[in-house]
């Protein structure tokens, strides 16, 4: 799979809004879900097909992944983490294609109660990579 620099920035803009204060584990989980969706036949074949408003709230809020405002420092850190994530090759979501923040999904009535959901917390303790 080849990913352009622009697509990497789109991924990191979504990751920053979805899991910026969750630590590296939470951010890697969101990255894993995005890459697993790219590899799946259920979603699209491109980053733009995968990062759609009905699946990622920041895209819904700002209109597109490239329009999500992220500070230069956050984007730079995210791009380095993404490079490390790709290089190391571990799936931060253990093969999942969905994640949820239970406090958000519960309050809006969209909480997933199926088997083996990936739950993102509001904060996860930092790893040595943070």
What's the mean pLDDT in 33-41? 93
Q: What's this model's pTM, rounded to 2 decimal places?
A: 0.80
pLDDT at 54: 86
What's the mean pLDDT in 50-63? 93
Percent of the chain residues topping a pLDDT of 90: 60
What's the mean pLDDT in 120-126? 37
d(CA 30, CA 124): 13
pLDDT at 103: 59
pLDDT at 2: 86
């Amino acid at each position: 799979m080849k990913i352009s620099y622009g697509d990497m920035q789109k991924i990191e803009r979504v990751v920053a809004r979805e899991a910026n204060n969750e630590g590296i584990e939470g951010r890697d989980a969101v990255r894993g879900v995005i890459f697993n969706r790219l590899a799946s036949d259920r979603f699209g074949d491109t980053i733009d097909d995968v990062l759609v408003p009905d699946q990622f709230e920041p895209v819904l809020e700002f209109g597109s992944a490239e329009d999500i405002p992220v500070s230069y420092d956050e984007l730079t850190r995210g791009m380095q983490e993404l490079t490390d994530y790709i290089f190391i090759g571990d799936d931060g979501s253990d093969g999942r294609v969905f994640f949820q923040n239970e406090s958000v999904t519960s309050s809006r009535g969209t909480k997933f109660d199926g088997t083996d959901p990936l739950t993102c917390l509001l904060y996860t303790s930092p790893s040595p990579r943070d």
